[in-house]
A and B are shown apart, each in its own frame.
Chain A
Amino acid sequence: MLFPGKAPDRLLIKGGKIVNDDQSFYADIFVEDGLIKQIGEDLLVPAGVRTVDAGGQLVVPGGLDAHTRLRAPGTSPADDLHRGTKAALAGGTTMIIDHVLPEPGATLAAACERWRDSARRQACCDYALHLDLPRWHESLAEELRALAKDKGVNSFLVFMAYKDKLQCTDAQMYEIFSIIRDLGAIAQVHAENGDIIDEEQKRLLELGITGPEGHVLSRPEEVEAEAVYRAITIAKQANCPLYVTKIMSKGAADVLAQAKRKGAVVYGEPITASLGTDGSHYWSKNWAKAAAFVTSPPISPDPTTSDHLTSLLACGDLQVTGSAHCVFTTAQKAVGKDDFTLIPEGTNGIEERMSVIWEKCVVSGKMDENDFVAVTSTNAAKIFNCYPRKGRIAVGSDADLVLWNPKATKIISAKTHNSNAEYNIFEGLECHGAPSVVISQGRVVLEEGSLFVTPGSGRFIPRKTFPDFVYKRIKARNRLAEVHGVPRGLYDGPVHDAAVAAAPRTAPCSGKGQALAVRNLHRSGFSLSGSQADDHIARRTAQKIIAPPGGRSTITSLS
């Protein structure tokens, strides 16, 4: 039995089946100083090393939860970075990437700093940060550059929903995506059409629907699918890799899958909630229970959604899983008891993620254990550029390991979960497969159902820009994307006189493209040929030009 603080830095895991995303094999693992030092059989290890007997269980890379919200401006979530990471470890997740939502007025860098301050005291597992961009402003490019270069933050989220609050216009998204592409970062998007939602919310409230069912009625899945389609279009125009957070509906997932088929560099992240349950609970007679499911995009009321999403996850159309863990107590949710638009949004899932995916995907035969590792850990590590430090069991990788017991049976319940929330949206779900031992930074943090965590032991994992997994293709496409104009002689035929009204149209396109010195040479060439007889006739509607006006003016005629 181990005790926190007394944990030795060395550990031998014997007799496990190592599962990576590409292969599985039986071998022992020797861990020292938080790193995997040796993998193999009959390892030579110092005497007296603590040995964990895996007894044939699977040894998988610790889970990487690509989406959590354990801190927020305003109403603080009920699970803070301490509570949340503890729950994460209990479920086999050894690293999280938390979303930083800057409070109004704060600079982005200051917001990240504040987050890290809290995490320094509270986080029990390694973490990294995504940054949410609450609004577009002039100096955004510089701020993002500083963060990506010096602060190890290389993924930025824009919102297409939350009208008049966080929502970006298409033009802003294009600009932001262009900046992100140049930085080599990942563009994330919260995809829902905020304009339509706003109108639907008004309509529903006018109909007198104020309960949590209004939340899902005002955010139908078409609205999610539409935004996904638009985000992909914009990203494709900007040649920027795109990561769609929280895929909650079949419609959205299908749009994404189709776009991949057409070559878009896009990743989709279903979350525990969309994989493990459905949105029929919004109609629960129990207000508090219904409110516990409120998150955006909402969990789809279509009960076949989870089956569809797990299938897409298995075939690679969706790649990454998060939890979007952000729980509020019933009292906090009750702020919106008379108006569903005021219910704080967020569901649990950080602890349940690995078990739910195992149950829905592996136990059902949709994916094998290697796929399981890919979608719970490896893919996220690759996309967010912490591979192979995270997401793989290999010599030199961080010693974040999970002994997975596929024979364990666990019933998810609020009575036993590690979160502070009174409700668990997966209440009663029976999962086959659970972590039996969890090792974070080479230390055993979960064993025999007991957690040994130290707040503040989690480290910030800085991430570099230009992840190969994503940017190799982007770079190649950038080279291909060069477009060239047609070299043609200047048009020197008659021009309709529209000088009067020309002014307003020049506004949208900057003058830059026009004032090319080279072109003026041609133009002077034209004036030498003398003015035309009909120059003063503005419009000649019925005139038929036999030698087309553009015909003689090719550039070759000048040489």
Chain B
Amino acid sequence: MSHPGIKPRIDDRLLIKGGRIINDDHSFYADIYLEDGLIKQIGENLIVPGGVKTIEANGRMVIPGGIDVNTYLQKPYQGMTAVDDFYQGTKAALAGGTTMIIDHVLPEPGSSLLTSFEKWHEAADTKSCCDYSLHVDITSWYDGIREELEILVQDKGVNSFQVYMAYKDLYQMSDSQLYEAFTFLKSLGAVILVHAENGDLIAQEQKRILEMGITGPEGHALSRPEELEAEAVFRAITIASRINCPVYITKVMSKSAADIIALARKKGPLVFGEPITASLGTDGTHYWSKNWAKAAAFVTSPPLSPDPTTPDHLNSLLACGDLQVTGSGHCPYSTAQKAIGKDNFTMIPEGVNGIEERMTVVWDKAVATGKMDESQFVAVTSTNAAKIFNLYPRKGRIAVGSDADVVIWDPDKVKTITAKSHKSAVEYNIFEGMECHGAPLVVISQGKIVFEDGNLHVNKGMGRFIPRKPFPEYLYQRIKIRNKVVGELQGVSRGMYDGPVYEIPAMPKYATPAPSTKSSPAKNQPPPIRNLHQSNFSLSGAQIDDNNPRRTGHRIVAPPGGRSNITSLG
């Protein structure tokens, strides 16, 4: 161990005595015996080898380690990366009770997903202190991407991909591309993550607000009103429900976006929403701070809502199950980095802290206020994420055979969040001064104590990559059934129409002639069988008025479709 004060070569065995085990479904008193990074036994009066290190939990809660589903610890922006890398970031995670992160791989548009994935994988492998997994963001939809996605899913252990509806001319995808991407990702059994904001409108608003001379961080919030977030969420859900695929909205930042998700869930689509530490713990009024550096520290997208009632609302929806998962979106930049945008808010690198504060903030805002109980706390900080991203029950549960990622939680501990004591390298903490109830006492990762008495005992690179399989049951069981229920669409079997057909004049219905043939590929048109019918019609002889293209006043007594039933042929 790198830390001097710790006993070297601690063995892999650990007994947690007298704790109250909290899972998402129920809680009970039992001892836990850990060995080789796994939970080996749960029960009372366990038979364990002599000399095992024992932790006395004294009736405190023992919960599954947190899973932070949204971090950006290597996000590139104009040649630099956020101040918290995988080492710094995962240290902060562990200090807050989070024992696994799922980081976003963000390829530069145009570069291949696979290469970027390998880059992230390597960086994380050498630096990460806790277990990690990777989402891959699809920043452009290029030729050959399908093969790469397949490789990522089949061989690389990635089962979740994020698409962007914002960042016009950079990452943004059109609705057609989204449709295509969703369809393909569904066939792979992946989880589809969506960054939901209307990029077209944001670009317009940014232009307008800069023209008005507003260049500070408040312009960021003004140019991205919450309606634009809600609109994109609505659209993403519409597209997903057409395709019958699950969709997961990352960073739910506003009441309206959350309400759209809640409403949609009541109508059936499989939608999941992820509020982040920032939206659950603070609000966007700080964008108007007189202190530029402070205001800039809050810049993230979608922005924090300036509506101060937002955190309360989102916590309520989290408690009732309308929102299911919490992330942090952790991606802090130093003030000097943020200052790239000092004269233009659109240049401020986006990202806030929250990886360390996440569990505490959720406890303080949701459990300490009575909105949710301890089991729900475990569900939204760990279990649900493990289920959605197919890590369950290896992660997200205290059970025999599960990974020994365990946190002893002290609900009474009161802690004031401040940049002075946080583990992140950033100068500002967006939760500065917030007094939180509930904090981790002991954090155990892979069966080792990594946090105790306020001290971290970690090794750079000790975190493992956790591969994830496609088709998580939690999502795809229902999708598969719905596929069957809906079944294949069938057309009406009706006789061929053999009445008169109007000759289209030179110009077709609308605008240009090309698109109509484009939207209906040629292969649908001439099935040979149909031509039989058509020839059948011509046998009946040419009509007197065949050369008269439009007969407005003509009333057909026997409707043209009437006699043409296919049975009349048989």
**A residues adjacent to B (C-beta < 8 A):** 73-76, 78-80, 83, 101, 103-104, 134-135, 162-166, 169-171, 174-175, 193, 195-196, 198-202, 204-211, 213-214, 217, 220, 222-223, 225-226, 229-230, 233-234, 236-237, 283-291, 328-335, 337-339, 341-342, 344-345, 414, 420, 422-423, 483-486, 488-491, 493-496, 498, 500-502, 505-510, 512-514, 516, 519, 538-545, 548-551, 553-554
Contacts and interface: CB of A to CB of B under 8 A. Distances in A.
Given A233-B230, A339-B525, A541-B334, A422 B79 contact: no
Contacts of B292: 488-491, 550, 553
A287 B494 contact: yes
A214 B515 CA distance: 18
Given A288-B497, A422-B559, A541 B239 contact: no
Nearest to A534: B336
Nearest to B340: A498
Give the 7 A-B residue pairs with the shortest CB-CB distance, closest first.
A513-B210, A195-B175, A550-B293, A288-B561, A170-B200, A501-B78, A485-B214
A512 B212 CA distance: 9
Contacts of A539: 80, 83, 334, 336-337
A502 B198 CA distance: 24
A552 to B, nearest CB: 10
Contacts of B239: 196
B511 interface: yes
Contacts of B216: 485-486, 488
A275 to B, nearest CB: 24
B546 to A, nearest CB: 11
B334 A540 contact: yes
A103 B497 contact: no
Interface in B478-530: 488-492, 494-497, 499-502, 504-505, 507-512, 514-516, 518-521, 523-525, 530
A346 to B, nearest CB: 10
B335 A210 contact: no
B559 A330 contact: yes
Given A341-B516, A514-B343, A83 B552 contact: yes
A496 B554 contact: no
B27 interface: no
A74 B506 CA distance: 8
B521 to A, nearest CB: 7
B383 to A, nearest CB: 31
B369 interface: no
A206 to B, nearest CB: 7
B525 A338 contact: yes
A165 B511 contact: yes
Given A486-B216, A512-B211, A495 B179 contact: no
Nearest to B510: A165
A223 B515 contact: no
Given A290-B492, A342-B520, A512-B210, A166 B510 contact: yes
B489 A204 contact: yes
B230 A420 contact: no
Interface in B346-387: 346-347
A289 B561 contact: yes
B425 A508 contact: no
B214 A484 contact: yes
Contact of A339 (B241, B336, B524): B524
Interface string B403-439: 0000000000000000110000101100000000000
Interface stretch (B66-74, B155-163, B219-227): B219-227
A419 to B, nearest CB: 10
B428 A495 contact: no
B231 interface: yes
Contacts of B488: 207
Contacts of B180: 199
Given A80-B552, A496-B80, 20 more contacts: A73-B507, A195-B178, A196-B239, A207-B491, A225-B238, A226-B238, A229-B234, A233-B198, A233-B227, A233-B231, A344-B509, A422-B555, A483-B209, A505-B78, A509-B206, A509-B210, A539-B80, A549-B427, A550-B291, A553-B292
Contacts of A234: 201
Contact of B505 (A74, A163, A201, A285): A74
Given A233-B230, A287-B494, A496 B290 contact: no
B242 interface: yes
Contacts of A207: 488-489, 491
B58 interface: no
B119 interface: no
A170 B165 CA distance: 12
Contacts of A486: 216, 218, 288-290, 295
B511 A508 contact: no
A519 B343 contact: yes
A545 B293 CA distance: 11
Contacts of A291: 497
Contacts of A80: 552
Interface in B445-482: none
B235 A226 contact: yes
A187 B508 CA distance: 27
Contacts of B80: 496, 498, 539
B3 interface: no
Contact of A498 (B79, B491, B509): B79
B228 interface: yes
Contacts of A135: 511
Interface of B: 77-80, 83, 88, 168-169, 174-176, 178-180, 183, 198, 200-201, 203-207, 209-216, 218-219, 222, 225, 227-228, 230-231, 234-235, 238-239, 241-242, 288-296, 334-337, 339-340, 342-344, 346-347, 419-420, 425, 427-428, 488-492, 494-497, 499-502, 504-505, 507-512, 514-516, 518-521, 523-525, 530, 550-556, 559-562, 564-565
A541 B509 contact: no
A205 B238 contact: no
A339 B225 CA distance: 42
Contact of B489 (A217, A222, A333, A423): A217
A340 to B, nearest CB: 9
Nearest to B291: A550
Contacts of A423: 559
Contacts of B520: 201-202, 205, 339, 341-342
A491 B292 CA distance: 6
Contact of B227 (A237, A420, A553): A237
A163 B530 contact: no
Given A166-B511, A207-B489, A496-B80, A171 B210 contact: no
B552 A329 contact: yes
A495 B336 contact: yes
Contacts of B288: 486
A498 B518 CA distance: 45
Contacts of A162: 510-511
A163 B124 CA distance: 43
A517 B362 CA distance: 46
A335 B343 contact: no
Contacts of B178: 195
Given A223-B242, A513-B213, A289 B499 contact: no
Contacts of A287: 494-497, 561, 564
Contact of B560 (A104, A211, A288): A288
A342 B517 CA distance: 9
Given A169-B200, A488-B290, A513-B210, A334 B78 contact: no
A166 B510 CA distance: 8
Nearest to A554: B290
B339 A494 contact: yes
B215 A514 contact: yes
B190 to A, nearest CB: 19
A78 to B, nearest CB: 5
Contacts of B512: 104, 164-165
A175 B336 contact: no
Contact of B494 (A103, A285, A339, A493): A285
Contacts of A208: 491, 524
B334 A163 contact: no
